[in-house]
């Protein structure tokens, strides 16, 4: 398995880096936050991303995408993660595009994938129901009513659920907990109650209640009672992509901290000359190098059809989650008291690390999953 980027992937990474630095630096994130933008992202910037082709990286060419692979979207997310760029790219163009591509029929792909690739719609995936990541602990029911299904229940922590045009919801369609089905629902459907929630990192999520929401058969995504395998694979693809974004955030937090160590003076000396801080910085550097290998392995594993996808995805999510958590913590501590003030960017990365680490399973969840898959 290759642990280096191809020439095309490297070019895409450079393009994304330039875009993030010029169009969505951290000042852009602060502007979205401080203006209390209800959507938590800039639709003009979203259209620029679509024009770059990023919204269709995981979508087949016949539906308007480039089918450039997970490593392609991964390098884009890494650079956007460096500047905390707020956008629907992860939820819409990774999570939901993958679900539709894997489970949808030709009509659904024609309808939704083309619109995702062109940036015309945003989507979210309503899966979680409890305080912790338990993907198949689903109580939300979908009961048949003639040619329709009636949905009742609740979902929480729906990433981008506060503004998305469509919601893909995982429902239990039989008494057996493994019999799960997926439905695509318009956000304006009767009986759908959406409570947007701005998270601690100032990105968007939502708690959603379904009360006698009627969904037609044509909006069922994939075969009835057989969505579990599709969800499992989609989650692992999403975890690998999210690990790339988290890696970008961790690398930037480390660079911010290094620059501060080189500039801040105490007792007439640059604090970066203090041996204790050098040791801590060296440890962060080595951990980040390990993370780079974990992420590129996870991204290329899917593109190359590895038979060890689950383990590799959990390895990446666990390692990068732990490292981003620790690097952002160390950054705040090395800044001293000012590290927790809003004047400095380092605190923004600490908040992002907390939310991203919990998304689709935290470090402990994936350590345990990795151990189980390895046979321990």
Q: Are residues 50 and 151 in the same domain?
A: no
Q: Are residues 259 and 335 in the same domain?
A: yes
| 23, containing H or E segment | helix 7-23
Q: Are residues 294 and 325 in the same domain?
A: yes
* Distance between first and last Cα of the chain: 25
Comparing 1 with 257, which gets the higher pLDDT?
257
> Where residue 139 falls among pLDDT bands split at 50, 70, 90?
very high
Q: Are residues 366 and 232 in the same domain?
A: yes
Model pTM score:
0.96
Report yes or no on 272 lying in a domain: yes
> Where residue 271 falls among pLDDT bands split at 50, 70, 90?
confident
| pLDDT tens-place string over residues 144-202 | 998 899 999 999 999 999 999 999 999 999 877 789 999 999 999 999 999 999 999 99
The stretch 105-111 carries a mean pLDDT of: 97
Q: Are residues 239 and 331 in the same domain?
A: yes
Q: Are residues 237 and 368 in the same domain?
A: yes
Tell me the C-alpha distance between 217 and 199, whole Å. Answer: 34
Average pLDDT over the chain reads 95
Report yes or no on 18 lying in a domain: yes
- The answer to whether the beta carbons of residues 142 and 181 sit under 8 Å apart is yes
For residue 169, the domain's CATH number is: 2.40.110.10
Residue 1 pLDDT greater than 80, yes or no: no
| pLDDT tens-place string over residues 292-310 | 999 999 999 999 999 899 9
Tell me the C-alpha distance between 27 and 60, whole Å. Answer: 34
Q: Are residues 241 and 155 in the same domain?
A: no
Per-residue tokens: 62: 């016949």
Q: Are residues 115 and 132 in the same domain?
A: no
Domains contained in the chain, number:
3
pLDDT at 148 (0 to 100): 94
pLDDT at 151 (0 to 100): 97
Domain limit, last residue, from 204, 221, 238:
221
Quick one: 344 exposed, middle or buried, by C-beta within 10 A (0-12, 13-18, 19+)?
middle
Q: Are residues 274 and 332 in the same domain?
A: yes
Report yes or no on 1 lying in a domain: no
Domain limit, last residue, from 173, 195, 221:
221
User: Residue 229 phi/psi, 5° resolution?
Assistant: -65, -40
Q: Are residues 340 and 250 in the same domain?
A: yes
Report yes or no on 42 lying in a domain: yes
Q: What residue numbers bound the domain in which 98 lies?
A: 7-121
pLDDT at 376 (0 to 100): 87
Tell me the C-alpha distance between 290 and 293, whole Å. Answer: 5
Comparing 343 with 5, which gets the higher pLDDT?
343
Domain limit, last residue, from 121, 139, 166:
121
For residue 101, the domain's CATH number is: 1.10.540.10
Task: Give the single-character DSSP code of 38.
Answer: T
Report yes or no on 58 lying in a domain: yes
Residue 2 pLDDT greater than 90, yes or no: no
Report yes or no on 2 lying in a domain: no
pLDDT at 28 (0 to 100): 97
Beta strands (DSSP E) in 22-165 are: 123-126, 141-145, 148-155
Q: Are residues 313 and 280 in the same domain?
A: yes
For residue 360, the domain's CATH number is: 1.20.140.10
- Is residue 286 left, alpha or beta, with left meaning phi > 0 and alpha meaning psi from -120 to 50? alpha
> Where residue 66 falls among pLDDT bands split at 50, 70, 90?
very high
Q: Which long-range contacts (CB under 8 A, 24 or more apart) does 142-146 make?
A: 142/171, 142/172, 142/173, 142/181, 142/183, 142/215, 143/173, 145/214
Q: Are residues 369 and 234 in the same domain?
A: yes
Tell me the C-alpha distance between 45 and 206, whole Å. Answer: 22
| pLDDT tens-place string over residues 189-242 | 999 999 999 999 999 999 999 999 999 999 999 999 999 999 999 999 999 999
Q: What is the CA radius of gyration of the chain?
A: 21
């Amino acid at each position: 398995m290759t642990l280096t980027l191809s020439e095309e992937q490297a070019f895409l990474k450079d393009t994304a880096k330039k875009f993030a630095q010029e169009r969505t630096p951290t000042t852009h994130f602060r502007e979205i936050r401080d203006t209390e933008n209800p959507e938590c992202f800039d639709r003009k910037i979203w259209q620029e991303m679509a024009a770059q082709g990023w919204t269709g990286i995981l979508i087949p060419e016949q539906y308007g995408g480039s089918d450039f692979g997970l490593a392609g979207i991964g390098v884009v997310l890494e650079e956007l993660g460096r500047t905390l760029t707020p956008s629907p790219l992860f939820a819409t163009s990774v999570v939901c595009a993958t679900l539709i591509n894997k489970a949808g029929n030709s009509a659904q792909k024609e309808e939704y994938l083309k619109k995702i690739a062109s940036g015309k719609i945003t989507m979210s995936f309503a899966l979680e129901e409890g305080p912790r990541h338990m993907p198949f602990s689903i109580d939300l029911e979908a009961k048949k009513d003639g040619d329709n299904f009636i949905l009742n229940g609740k979902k929480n922590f729906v990433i981008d659920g506060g503004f998305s045009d469509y919601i893909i919801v995982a429902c239990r369609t039989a008494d057996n907990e493994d019999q799960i089905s997926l439905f695509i629902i318009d956000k304006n459907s009767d009986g759908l109650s959406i409570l947007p929630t701005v998270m601690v990192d100032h990105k968007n999520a939502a708690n959603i209640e379904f009360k006698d929401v009627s969904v037609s058969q044509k909006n069922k995504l994939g075969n009835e009672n057989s969505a579990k395998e599709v969800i499992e694979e989609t989650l692992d693809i999403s975890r690998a992509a999210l690990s790339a974004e988290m890696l970008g955030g961790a690398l930037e937090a480390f660079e911010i901290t290094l620059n501060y160590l080189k500039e801040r003076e105490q007792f007439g000396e640059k604090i970066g000359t203090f041996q204790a801080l050098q040791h801590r910085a060296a440890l962060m550097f080595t951990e980040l190098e390990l993370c780079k290998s974990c992420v590129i392995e996870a991204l290329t594993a899917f593109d190359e059809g590895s038979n060890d996808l689950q383990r590799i995805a959990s390895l990446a999510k666990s390692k990068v989650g732990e490292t981003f958590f620790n690097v952002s913590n160390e950054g705040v501590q090395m800044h001293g008291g000012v590290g927790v003030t809003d004047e400095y960017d380092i605190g923004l990365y600490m908040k992002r690390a907390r939310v991203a680490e919990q998304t689709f399973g935290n470090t402990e969840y994936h350590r345990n999953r990795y151990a189980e898959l390895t046979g321990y």
